[in-house]
Structure 1
Amino acid sequence: MNKPLIIAMDFKDRTAAESFLDSLDSFTGTPLFLKVGMELFYREGPSLVEAWKEKGHRIFLDLKLHDIPSTVQSAARQLAALNVDLITVHAAGGIRMMEAAREGLETGTPAADSVPDCVAVTQLTSTTEKMMQEELGIPAGLEETVIHYAVNAKQAGLQGIVCSALEAPAIKEHAGRNMKAVTPGIRMKEQDRNDQKRVVTPAKARNLGSDAIVVGRSITSAEQPWQTYQDMMKQWRGKQ
């Protein structure tokens, strides 16, 4: 995975998303790693992913697949044809469902392409322990639940999990150093947390053992997005 900083392209449509990318063109000559989530994918569909792949960007397709195993397997098989680099499922779907997603990706990937990595969402960074216990009915502690999901994802043959950077050390301890921790909830110290509860800086994420960080509005809504991207990348790479 090579420690990427993934930009969450949480825009309402293709026009807004590509306007943002156009604003970076004068600064960057290298492809970016872009997250396409539910809002943008449901509006624009596969054609957007295909266009960005043609431009050389890497794509994290964050649709959080969660259904019965056969449905997830079929969906993953279809998505694999888009040649994305990373895809998500919900760990709450269980081991067999996660195995089915992996099988779908393997069978759906064209022979000339690499099978996308698949990571499992454990608990959203907007979830607190109180919410998880009182609203979701999960009596265990938050970290204990995340660890349990991560061990299940490893058993299912997935490459990693999505979690808060705060849980990355425990994931590495219990699920192994090779389980990748993809961590949203990244902010610079001076930035608003918005609706996320468990957030850290890029430097803190690096020190905690994150393998990839996902940054959205902190970059896409910044007055100088390219400068903010560079500042966060320097922290993430340990250059400041």
Structure 2
Amino acid sequence: MEKPLMIALDFDNLSSVTDFLDAFPDPSQLTVKVGMELFYQAGPAIIADMKKRGCQIFLDLKLFDIPNTVKQAMVQIGQLGVNYVTVHSLGGSAMLSAAKAGLAEGSAASNQPVPALLAVTELTSISDDVLKNEQHAALPMQEQVLALATMANQAGCDGVICSALELKTLRQHLQPDFLCVVPGIRMKADQSGDQVRVASPDQAAKDGASAIVVGRPITKAADPVAAWHRYQATWQNN
């Protein structure tokens, strides 16, 4: 799909994931996000299951360590056959370049396509106050995210994770094919939960998002399939 809607599988066990995906008539239409909670519980087996179902897979482990450690971890991840992976841009350009090299090495070893490498800029739970008074960043949020995205681009990343509030700024300064993947997506009627910088799917589409990530508004809905269709319609038609 040209504009993926990535479902964050915020479950703590494989059985709940199976029940959720079994409700969808054609899971091959889905792009799913496997985060730390699920991957640390189920391990690579969850990736194998998603691949059997035909899902596109976003493995969101947000690696953040010294360059060599991240590279060797990415060698392993590159062999799994996922479509997207994440690192923290705050790890610096050397770490990002090492991540890219590790992915290429691992993918080649298992004859898999190289996943898109996405650098996390600032988490959507980070407010301007936290950025200034806890992270002690010298730049305001818009400039901070742009600086991190520019560095990630120069280091060979394929895109970034950012909030919808920074999309317009990024699109003004980065090439059109640089991916901007946006979490914190909620319909206006849905609660924001623990995320601060949120937006609706139609607003993210209009401002230039390449993909959006939706979790609990779909996974915790009374009818997850209907909720997915509702978000899809709003996202794809703008």
Q: How high is the TM-score relative to the length of structure 1? A: 0.95
- State the secondary structure of the residue aligned to 1:109: helix
Give structure 1 stretches of 5+ with no counterpart. Answer: none
For 1:24, give the aligned amino acid: F
Q: Aligned in 2, Cα 1:29/1:66: closer, same or farther, shift over 3 Å? A: closer
Whether 1:3 and 2:38 are equivalent positions in the alignment is: no
Corresponding letter in the other structure for 2:161: V
1:100 alignment partner, SS class: helix
1:112: Cα distance to partner?
3.3
Could you tell me how far 1:24 is from its partner in structure 2? 2.3
Query: 2:29 matched to 1:31?
Result: yes
Percentage of pairs with the same residue = 42
In structure 2, the partner of 1:155 is 154
Structure 2 unpaired stretches of 5+ = none
How far 1:30 sits from its partner (Å)? 3.5
Map Cα deviations across residues 25-72 of structure 1 (whole Å, 9 max, x no partner).
3xx364311000000000110011012112211110000010000000
Residues 71-110 of structure 1: pairs in structure 2 closer than 5 A: 71-110=69-108
RMSD, aligned CA = 1.3
After superposition, give the CA deviation of every residue in 1:106-134 in whole Å (9 maximum; x if it has no partner). 01004632100001000000111111110
Please tell me the residue identity of whatever aligns with 1:104. G
Q: Which amino acid aligns with 2:149?
A: A
Distance 1:213 1:29, change over 3 A: closer
Q: Deviation digits for residues 149-174 of structure 1, max 9, x if unmatched?
A: 00000001111000001111111212
Structure 1 stretch displaced more, 103-112 or 139-148: 103-112
Runs of 4+ in structure 1 deviating by more than 6 angstroms, as ranges, are: none
Letter in 2 for 1:58: Q
Give the deviation of 1:179 after TM superposition.
1.5
Equivalents in 1 of 2:44, 2:168: separation in Å? 35
After TM superposition, the score normalised by the length of structure 2 is 0.96
Q: Is residue 234 from structure 1 mapped to residue 233 from structure 2 by the alignment?
A: yes
CA distance in 2, matches of 1:29, 1:89: 27
Give distance in 1, aligned partners of 2:28 and 2:86: 25
Read off the aligned partner of 1:5 and give its amino acid letter: L
Aligned twin of 1:173: 172
Q: In the aligned structure 2, how far is the partner of 1:30 from the partner of 1:63? A: 22
1:62/1:213 CA distance change after superposition, 3 Å: same
Q: Distance in 1 between matches of 2:65 and 2:226?
A: 40
Contact 2:28 2:56 in 1 (8 A): no
Instruction: Read off the aligned partner of 1:161 and give its amino acid letter.
Output: V
Q: Distance in 2 between matches of 1:29 and 1:5?
A: 13
Count of matched residue positions in the alignment of Structure 1 and Structure 2 = 237
Give matches, 1:135-146, under 5 Å. Answer: 135-146=134-145
Q: Is the contact made by 1:65 and 1:90 (CA closer than 8 Å) also made in structure 2?
A: yes
SS of equivalent to 1:232: helix
Residue 214 (structure 1) shift? 0.3
